[in-house]
Structure 1
Amino acid sequence: MEWFNVGKIVNTHGIWGEIRVISTTDFPDERYEVGSELGLYKADGSKPIIVKVASHRKHKNFDLLTFEGYTLLKDVELLKNALLKVSEKYLSDLEDNEYYFHEIIGCTVESIEGETIGKITEIIQTGANDVWTVQPTIGKTHYIPYIEDVVKTIDIENKKIIIEVLDGLLS
């Protein structure tokens, strides 16, 4: 079974076992719903732990969570820098032209003329639109905005994306 990143624990919050999470999911209310199961992958590389969400609330730019069985600060201090992941069985179907990050990362990007530009290695969320980090085989990294004027075709099955290279996009 595959697990997909939904956030990173960056700190504790208060003394009652609450943790501060920077989310990498577009569905925090669904992922952190009370009773949801998450995989907790500690930074030390130890075996993942399955945790159940006991509470969730927003605070500034963070999601604050507590887990069942982790009620005090001392219980969660060692969880700093751990990744939170969701099992593939909990992934929901998306609307047309919506994709999970793991479906986009690793795709080869080509121009409409057939020139290979590189592979997508990261997705940056800017607020306005996502920006794809594209690493060519040689040369410097490109940043491709996920907008209609640029992205023409997304073929998840074949891990291939066709873009129109606008003036200055690859410079």
Structure 2
Amino acid sequence: MELIVGKVGRAHGLRGEVTVDVRTDAPDERLAPGAEFATDAGTLTIESTHWHGARLLVRFEGIADRAAAEGIRGVFLVVDVPDDERPEDPDEFYDHQLVGLAVETVSGAPVGAVAEVLHLPMQEVLAVRAESGEEILVPFVAAVVPEVDLDGRRLVINPPPGLLESEGGAT
């Protein structure tokens, strides 16, 4: 299974460094010097990294100036992980493990299925495709999502009032 761990952002400075939008909880492991990524722009190998405030700055081998750095802007950094690999923390999940899970309420009422995991600045949000076809955005926090059962391919939500109501009434 492929896992997106970052996306190359804008150039930083004149010597080929770029910002990387980190999309992994383990950047020091996944985005370490020596890590290689097969991309649409060719193979990229991390030469060095350092944090500049909250931003990860990366220098790739062979990317020596600002023009070359701008040439790889927007490239996704993807790693292969075994389908059954799980993060060490039992309360963490890879996006691909959540997509497709059936969603039901704590009372057992079917809601739909997870279509996408959105990584927003304040928290992760599950985009759930409801049985009606509507999209419901569910905050991925323990109070709203008390149970994730990967083996059972389901996710249980405890929706706050109004979450499951559409503009035309209850879903």
Alignment partner, residue 26 of structure 1? 25
SS at match of 2:96: helix
Which of 68, 73, 78 lines up with 1:80 in the alignment? 73
SS at match of 1:74: helix
Shift of 1:148: 2.6
Give the TM-score normalised by the residue count of structure 1: 0.80
1:25-45 deviation per Cα after TM superposition (whole angstroms, max 9, x unaligned): 112222211112223245xxx
Alignment partner, residue 5 of structure 1? 4
**Quick check: 1:39–1:87 contact (8 Å CA) kept in 2?**
no
Q: Identify unmatched segments of 5+ residues in structure 2.
A: 166-171
Shift of 1:3: 2.1
Q: Identify unmatched segments of 5+ residues in structure 1.
A: 43-48
1:80-129 deviation per Cα after TM superposition (whole angstroms, max 9, x unaligned): 1111112216x774222221122112222111333221222232345654
Alignment partner, residue 52 of structure 1? 45
Alignment partner, residue 163 of structure 2? 169
Q: Give the CA RMSD over aligned residues.
A: 2.3
More divergent stretch after superposition (149-158 vs 21-30): 149-158
Percent of paired sites with the same residue: 28
For residues 86 and 117 of structure 2, the distance between their equivalents in structure 1, rounded to whole angstroms, comes to 20
Shift of 1:21: 1.5
Which of 86, 98, 113 lines up with 1:104 in the alignment? 98
Shift of 1:142: 1.3
Shift of 1:57: 1.6
Give the TM-score normalised by the residue count of structure 2: 0.80
**Quick check: 2:15–2:66 contact (8 Å CA) kept in 1?**
yes
